[in-house]
Amino acid sequence: MADAKVIPFDDDRSRGGAGQRPQRRRSTGGRPGAVQPLPTRGDAHDEKPPAEDRAREAADALEQRVARGLAFLRRRLTGEYEVDDFGYDEELTDQVLMSLLRPVYEKYFRVEVKGIENIPAEGGALIVANHSGTLPLDGLMMQVAVHDRHPAGRHLRLLAADLVFVLPVVNELARKLGHTLACAEDAERLLGQGELVGVMPEGFKGIGKPFGERYKLQRFGRGGFVSTALRQGVPIVPCSIVGAEEIYPMIGNAKTLARLLGFPYFPLTPTFPWLGPLGAIPLPTKWTIQFGEPIPTDGYPPEAAEDPMLMFNLTDQVREQIQHTLYKLLVQRRSVFF
């Protein structure tokens, strides 16, 4: 009877149907059918005394967890895991890095996700979002949102600034999280593979803007993301993130210091750098991430990607949709922190 009483692993709870998960369970359990679908568990409860059951259940669950953790450790230590051409380490992302980001996402910023159904369940799509917050935490939170909330358990591949790949440690983690350089080649390759790609076309202009200009979308680059989406014929999903603007209210910019360090800006906030490392703790704002209606791009002729007029129109359309959603969400918001 012990077979049926397994509490699902924490990480798995939110995405039961993820592609390779059942396989891994089977291999770690050692017994076929160790993890039964939930309904059978309910049946078992009816027949057995519940107290004894629960104790056993807990012990079993712990055992399962330990076994799975050890199997994971074994794979990591012997190097027997796979990464893709971009250096994306799916296992490490799912098991470790996401578990580290999840508390920030759930407990600290208490992210509310809307319109997740607007992200297609399969095939390539380009998610275009606003960028803010001095440090690119908004991108990471968007990645957790897609990872945890999407019913098909999709993985978001973010396009990051070149600075990310110059910095030690950061570049390593970014590659393992599935990020890659924001350039047309990489974006097209990922979209061509049917991946979900996230981009923040405002770039440094958006993330490094002063607090006074919060929620005012900056220029969307040269609209390169639109031509990329057009060439691959994938839909563009506009995404609005509210809450990230206030995590580090940037009241000043130490330009000389920034130039010295080779950064695009050096933020001065009410707490940073005055309080030292303590000042680097973001304010616990309440976030909302809304994915909007997808904008299809497959109806255009192939030469459309070269048409600058169409490019600007589509860019504006995406930009306006994000801006309007931002205003709407701001009106609905009760307060910055709740």
Partner 1 sequence: MLVTGAARQLGGRFVRRVQRDPEVDRVIALDAVPPAHDLGGAEFIQADIRQPTVARVLAETGADTVVHMDVTGTALGGGSRATVKETNVIGTMQLLGACQKSPAVKRLVVKSSTNVYGSAPRDPAVFTETTPAKSLPSGGFAKDAVEVEGYVRGFARRRPDVAVCVLRFANILGPTPDTPLASYFALPVLPTVLGYDPRLQFVHEDDVIEVLRIASHEPRRGTLNSGTFNIAGDGVLLLSQVSRRLGRPTVPLLLPAVTWAGSLVRTLGMTDFSPEQIRLLTHGRVVDTGQMRDTLGFVPTYTTAETFADFARGQGPGLLPPETLAEAVDRVAVLTAGSGARVPQPGAN
Interface residues with partner 1 (CB under 8 A) are: 23-24, 27-31, 63, 66-68, 70-71, 73-87, 89, 91, 162, 165-172, 175-176, 180-181, 183, 185-186, 189
* Closest CB to partner 1 among residues 149, 175: 175
Q: Cα dist. 127→110, 181, 239, 289, 291 in Å?
A: 21, 16, 7, 12, 8
Q: How far is the CB of 158 from partner 1 (least distance, A)?
A: 13
Q: How far is the CB of 160 from partner 1 (least distance, A)?
A: 11
Q: How far is the CB of 197 from partner 1 (least distance, A)?
A: 12
* Closest CB to partner 1 among residues 59, 260: 59
Q: How far is the CB of 293 from partner 1 (least distance, A)?
A: 30
The strand pair at 236-242 and 125-129 is best described as parallel
Q: How far is the CB of 159 from partner 1 (least distance, A)?
A: 10
Buried b or exposed e, range 126-148, using 16+ CB within 10 angstroms = bbbbbbbbbebbbbbbbbbbbbb
Buried b or exposed e, range 168-197, using 16+ CB within 10 angstroms = eeebeebbbbbbbbbeeebbbbbbeeebbb
Q: Cα dist. 316→112, 152, 168, 216, 229 in Å?
A: 26, 30, 36, 14, 15
Report the run of H or E that residue 114 belongs to, with start and end.
strand 112-114
Residue recorded with tokens 């699902």: 8
Q: How far is the CB of 95 from partner 1 (least distance, A)?
A: 12
* Closest CB to partner 1 among residues 176, 319: 176
* Closest CB to partner 1 among residues 175, 209: 175
Cα-based angle 17, 23, 29 (whole degrees, multiple of 5): 115
* Closest CB to partner 1 among residues 174, 318: 174
* Closest CB to partner 1 among residues 81, 327: 81
